[in-house]
């Protein structure tokens, strides 16, 4: 406990230092070293953890490929392997929060995450939480949150896993994962490198794509130390270096634009667990650096942050617990396009959460209240209420009802407030009421398992920020819109043995997301129209057939028509498309071989207007795991 007090002092000492000026401006198990309270205090929300087979299938790809398999998530890409942003439940890219080890890693300049910079092989676990209840790491979780985790296991047998993949269009990918434990020390090391010439054939023209090369390399290192049976330390470091040429629109041949992103993330966490209480302290240093080259012009920005948190969880009784939270974020941005060449900001937040069970432990509830404080920004108090209650519980059949409502907000980005001769420091935070209710069932018959769930959601967002031209034609950010996002999500999971050595699993999902402009100060013609790049319908499916050491997998995705103009012009709308990826794998002892076909039916499709996506392509991979006895 004494070590925890020392660490807490160090956390706040770092934050004091960060304020000095710069020259320019599912059932979840608790992790032993770093438990994620965010998952445990949301009984009214669905919590989605992609299967290990899905992570293995997209091991050498970006996390966006994993997220794409969720029907409520639409991934927008500016070309194959290019900038990749998320639209979650009909919201925009800046209204989804991304956390790594309980720290916010969204871009603080744009307020969003480029998922092309997050390789699947760099993280241990991905958790998806639809809805706006999970926003402890920062503002903006109207659509939902994506939690990334790198864990260490003090009981793990030391092992090394090496993966190599080759594919179409000059694609190569290599990764190494070493993990294990030695006495009180546990470690997880992930090294990765990959590149692609990305010179695929553009199906509509027959020409080959130019200026679309990309390459990435990085390391994710986690170390854990078990101080005693009650306390532990964890340190983590993630460095990612990504270079890419900027894929031009179809028909543009002379283009030399490129972009380099360097992301450095480091965290230190201390956790103490007593009989009735738990203390979790953390601090981290984060640096995001980008260089963008447009012809002869070069744009550069760098954001340094020190983020710290303290969580204290106390069990009031066997069935009720309370959690106190405090968080601080010190931000320094260097950007020539900002007034004064940079910006600084301090963000503070306090939170209180209560969770428990009532009525013979059948009703599970959670109550949250959170207040964030930022100078010169009006931020409302954010409450959350979530409930989960079993309606039927039998040996072979269960039916459960979930519901939650929350009031959330999104802070204006640094670009919104500090952009030279355009930013508005007095912008209001976006605010929104989110409501959802869902019902899920579990069916068991011998070895057959069937899960069905349906969720309806309603999210009204006010003070929507949009950059619009003023009387002089200069684009400026303004609070001008009210947007209503509502819809239904459904899923079916089926798992059954067909024979003694033959097993079949499938998952089907469908979402209906209607997201319309309800009020608009600048353009009355867009009232009632669907938001651009937000499909009304989306469906996903995957199936796995396992026979002895062989497995056959297929992932299907259907995306409905997407509008690209605020008036929902049919002329410029993107057509619906259907994609299928398939793979055959053989696994024996320490070896795994697999072959994969992407876009099996060679579909010509667009995710973003004017930007080509690749047709059918192939990948071969080999993986070897070496285990060491303790």
Percentage of the chain with pLDDT > 90? 74
Tell me what the mean pLDDT of segment 344-361 comes to: 93
In angstroms, rounded to a whole number, what is the distance separating the alpha carbons of residues 263 and 267? 13
pLDDT of residue 188: 97
pLDDT of residue 22: 34
pLDDT of residue 138: 59
Give the 3-state DSSP-derived string for 372-427, with helices as H, strands as E and coil as C: EEECCECCCCEEEEEEEEEEEECCCEEEEEEEEEEEEEECCCHHHHHECCCCCCCC
- How many other C-beta atoms can be found within 10 angstroms of the C-beta atom of residue 209? 23
Phi, psi (degrees; rounded to nearest 5) at 380? -80, 165
* Residues sharing a CB contact under 8 Å with residue 471, sequence separation 6 or more, in sequence order: none
For the chain, the residue count is 630
Tell me what the mean pLDDT of segment 354-375 comes to: 92
486 SS3 class:
strand
In angstroms, rounded to a whole number, what is the distance separating the alpha carbons of residues 120 and 146? 13
Range picked from 134-138, 206-210, 295-299 for highest mean pLDDT: 206-210
Number of separate helices (H) and strands (E) present in the chain: 5, 28
In angstroms, rounded to a whole number, what is the distance separating the alpha carbons of residues 536 and 516? 10
In angstroms, rounded to a whole number, what is the distance separating the alpha carbons of residues 515 and 534? 7
Tell me what the mean pLDDT of segment 9-31 comes to: 35
Q: How confident is the model at residue 15 (pLDDT cuts 50, 70, 90)?
A: very low
In angstroms, rounded to a whole number, what is the distance separating the alpha carbons of residues 611 and 198? 13
Predicted confidence (pLDDT) at residue 523 exceeds the cutoff of 90 = no
**Which residue bears the tokens 């330390």?**
233
Tell me what the mean pLDDT of segment 44-68 comes to: 90
Average pLDDT in the chain? 89
* Complete domains list, the chain, with CATH: 2-627 (2.40.170.20)
Instruction: Characterise 523 by phi-psi region: left (phi > 0), alpha (psi -120 to 50), beta (else).
Output: beta
pLDDT of residue 21: 37
pLDDT of residue 131: 85
Q: Dump pLDDT digits (tens) for 241-284.
A: 999 999 999 999 878 899 999 999 999 999 999 999 999 999 99
Mean pLDDT is lowest, of 96-100, 221-225, 494-498, 626-630, for 626-630
* Antiparallel, parallel or unpaired: β 214-226 and 73-77: unpaired
Mean pLDDT is lowest, of 8-17, 39-48, 593-602, for 8-17
pLDDT of residue 28: 32
Are the beta carbons of 595 and 622 closer than 8 angstroms?
no
pLDDT of residue 37: 44
Mean pLDDT is lowest, of 20-24, 76-80, 200-204, 603-607, for 20-24
- How many other C-beta atoms can be found within 10 angstroms of the C-beta atom of residue 277? 13
pLDDT of residue 134: 56
Tell me what the mean pLDDT of segment 129-134 comes to: 77
pLDDT of residue 500: 85
Are the beta carbons of 266 and 237 closer than 8 angstroms?
yes
Q: Dump pLDDT digits (tens) for 405-437.
A: 999 999 999 999 999 988 988 888 899 999 999
Nearest Cα residue to 255 out of 264, 263, 244? 244
First-residue to last-residue Cα distance in the chain: 30
Buried b (16+ CB within 10 A) or exposed e, 343-352: bbbebebebe
Percentage of the chain with pLDDT > 70? 92
Predicted confidence (pLDDT) at residue 340 exceeds the cutoff of 80 = yes
Predicted confidence (pLDDT) at residue 19 exceeds the cutoff of 50 = no
pLDDT of residue 38: 55
Q: How confident is the model at residue 354 (pLDDT cuts 50, 70, 90)?
A: very high
Top-confidence residue, 33 or 134: 134
Predicted confidence (pLDDT) at residue 6 exceeds the cutoff of 70 = no
């Amino acid at each position: 406990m004494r070590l925890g007090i020392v660490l807490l002092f160090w956390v706040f000492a770092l934050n004091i230092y960060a304020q000095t000026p710069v020259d320019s401006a599912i059932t979840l198990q608790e992790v032993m070293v770093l438990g994620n309270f965010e998952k445990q205090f949301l009984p009214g929300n669905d919590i989605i953890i992609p299967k290990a087979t899905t992570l293995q299938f997209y091991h050498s790809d970006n996390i966006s490929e994993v997220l794409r398999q969720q029907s409520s998530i639409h991934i927008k890409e500016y070309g194959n392997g290019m900038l990749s942003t998320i639209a979650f439940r009909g919201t925009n890219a800046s209204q989804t929060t991304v956390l790594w080890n309980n720290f916010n890693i969204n871009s603080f300049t744009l307020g969003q995450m480029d998922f092309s910079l997050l390789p699947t092989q760099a993280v241990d676990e991905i958790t998806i939480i639809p809805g706006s209840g999970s926003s402890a790491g920062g503002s903006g979780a109207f659509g939902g949150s994506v939690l990334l985790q790198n864990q260490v296991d003090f009981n793990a047998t030391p092992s090394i896993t090496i993966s190599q993949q080759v594919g179409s269009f000059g694609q190569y990918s290599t990764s190494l994962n070493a993990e294990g434990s030695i006495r009180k020390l546990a470690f997880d090391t992930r090294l990765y490198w990959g590149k692609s010439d990305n010179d695929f054939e553009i199906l509509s023209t027959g020409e080959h794509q130019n200026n679309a090369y990309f390459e990435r390399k990085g390391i994710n290192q986690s170390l854990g130390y078990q101080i005693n049976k009650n306390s532990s330390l964890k340190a983590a470091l993630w460095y990612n270096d990504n270079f890419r040429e900027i894929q031009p629109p179809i028909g543009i041949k002379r283009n030399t634009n490129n972009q380099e992103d360097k992301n450095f993330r480091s965290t230190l966490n201390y956790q103490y667990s007593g009989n009735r209480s738990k203390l979790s302290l953390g601090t981290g240093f984060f640096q995001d650096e980008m260089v963008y080259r447009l012809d002869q012009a070069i744009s550069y920005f760098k954001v340094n942050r020190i983020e710290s948190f303290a969580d204290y969880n106390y069990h009031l009784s066997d069935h009720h617990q309370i959690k106190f939270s405090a968080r601080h974020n010190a931000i320094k941005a260097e950007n020539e396009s900002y007034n004064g060449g940079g910006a600084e900001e301090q963000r503070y937040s306090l939170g209180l959460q209560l969770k428990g069970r009532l009525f013979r432990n059948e009703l599970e509830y959670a109550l949250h209240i959170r207040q964030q404080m930022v100078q010169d920004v009006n931020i409302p108090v954010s409450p959350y209420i979530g409930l989960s209650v079993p309606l039927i519980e039998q040996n072979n059949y269960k039916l459960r009802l979930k519901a939650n409502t929350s009031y959330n907000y999104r802070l204006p980005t640094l670009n919104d407030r500090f952009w030279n001769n355009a930013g508005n420091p007095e912008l209001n935070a976006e605010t929104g009421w989110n409501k959802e209710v869902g019902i899920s069932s579990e069916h068991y018959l011998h070895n057959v398992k069937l899960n069905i769930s349906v969720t309806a959601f309603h999210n009204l967002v006010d003070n929507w920020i949009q950059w619009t031209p003023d009387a002089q034609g200069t684009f400026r950010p303004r609070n001008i819109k009210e947007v209503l996002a509502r819809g239904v999500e459904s899923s079916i999971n089926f798992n059954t043995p067909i024979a003694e050595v033959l097993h079949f699993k499938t998952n089907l999902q469908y979402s209906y997301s209607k997201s319309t402009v309800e009020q608009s100060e600048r353009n009355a013609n867009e009232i009632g129209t669907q938001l651009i790049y937000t499909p009304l319908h989306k469906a996903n499916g995957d199936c796995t057939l396992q026979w002895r050491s062989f497995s056959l997998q297929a992932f299907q995705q259907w995306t409905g028509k997407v509008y690209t103009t605020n008036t929902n012009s049919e002329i410029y709308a993107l057509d619906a498309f259907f994609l299928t990826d398939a793979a055959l794998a053989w696994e024996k002892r320490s070896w795994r071989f697999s072959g994969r076909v992407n876009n099996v039916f060679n579909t010509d499709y667009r995710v973003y207007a004017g930007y080509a996506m690749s047709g059918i392509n192939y990948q071969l991979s080999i993986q070897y795991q070496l285990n060491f006895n303790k």
